[in-house]
Amino acid sequence: MRIGILTSGGDSPGMNAAVRAAVRCGTARGLEMAGIRHGYVGLIAGDVVPLDNRAVGGIIERGGTFLGSARSKEFIEPDGQQHALRSIEAAGLDGLIVVGGNGSLAGARWLQENGVPTVGIPASIDNDIYGSAMAIGVDTALNTVVESLDRIRDTAISHDRAFVVEVMGRESGYIALMGGLAGGAELVLVPEFPETLADVSEYVLSGLRKGKHHSIIVVAEGFTAVGSVQTGKSPGRIISDFLEQTGAIETRLSILGHLQRGGSPSAFDRILASRLGKAAVDILADGESGVMVALTGQELTSVPLSEIARPSENFNSEIYELINEIAN
């Protein structure tokens, strides 16, 4: 049995650990393992390379993905999909493991429905994948956000400033929510809870009246202020400019951007990725497919690929309320 593995979409710290575990556990079961470089782009092009235990040595501590990744518009088109199926047949692949986020896992579902035994592994720093409490890369990204907030707070306190810190999260405010809680933010702005610019300003002014001389405002990139005019500016820039214009407090903006994706994966992400990689191989080796391996509580489970398009349930509104309560 020959199993291919690819990493797709935005890179997440821990992807390499998942590939490493899949290859070594697959080899231990007598399987032949292969890597597809650059995600679905490489799958269409037939860029398939053999992977043995030595090929995945020394990668568990590396961020990103040594196989490479890409976002493929071609794969969502019928012609690209047919090219991918022909490449799978030409490479002699009996099954696929797809490591990635919602779009990548939707591709895995298409492959399964078109005759290719496929198992998905959730990897997305946004933690917005249905069915898994944590995805690969989330913990490392959160640690990066918290470390950044700790450093920014030093400057905010020194200069009596408000800092608006924009983090990733187009559809989900999970990073902003959990990073803001752990980083001691005074205010967290997420797509799930709309606010007006006046609300944000009043919250900062309320803190000043209580004797707070600095503020850390964490905003998800997908947040939209209620009633604000769309100017093409990022939400962090809009909020920072508004606070600066009110004259209430000197304000600075920090956009963390792709800083959140990089870096050596945390111990949690290495362990989670290794467990998911092994589980994915075991499922295919046992003649099953069409699922995503997932974390529920402390145990690994499987979720049908047909269900992953459902909204994630990982955003916790009680955490949002907790932040507001303890930030005063």
Enumerate the active-site residues: 126
Instruction: For residue 318, give both structure tokens.
Output: 């009680």
DSSP state of 319: H
Q: Using an 8 Å Cβ cutoff, are 120 and 5 in contact?
A: no
> Contacts by 146-155 with C-beta closer than 8 Å and gap 24+?
146/179, 146/182, 146/183, 148/183, 148/254, 148/256, 148/259, 149/179, 149/180, 149/183, 149/184, 149/185, 149/216, 149/218, 150/183, 152/216, 152/254, 153/183, 153/184, 153/214, 153/216, 155/252
List the beta bridge partners of residue 252. 163
DSSP state string for 20-85: HHHHHHHHHTT-EEEEETTHHHHHHHT-EEEE-TGGGTT-TT--S-TT-----SGGGSHHHHHHHH
C-alpha span between 23 and 281 (Å, rounded): 8
Instruction: For residue 310, give both structure tokens.
Output: 């459902």
DSSP state of 167: E
Q: What are the CA-CA distances from residue 60 to residues 143, 232, 326 (Å)?
A: 18, 39, 37
Residue type, 191: P
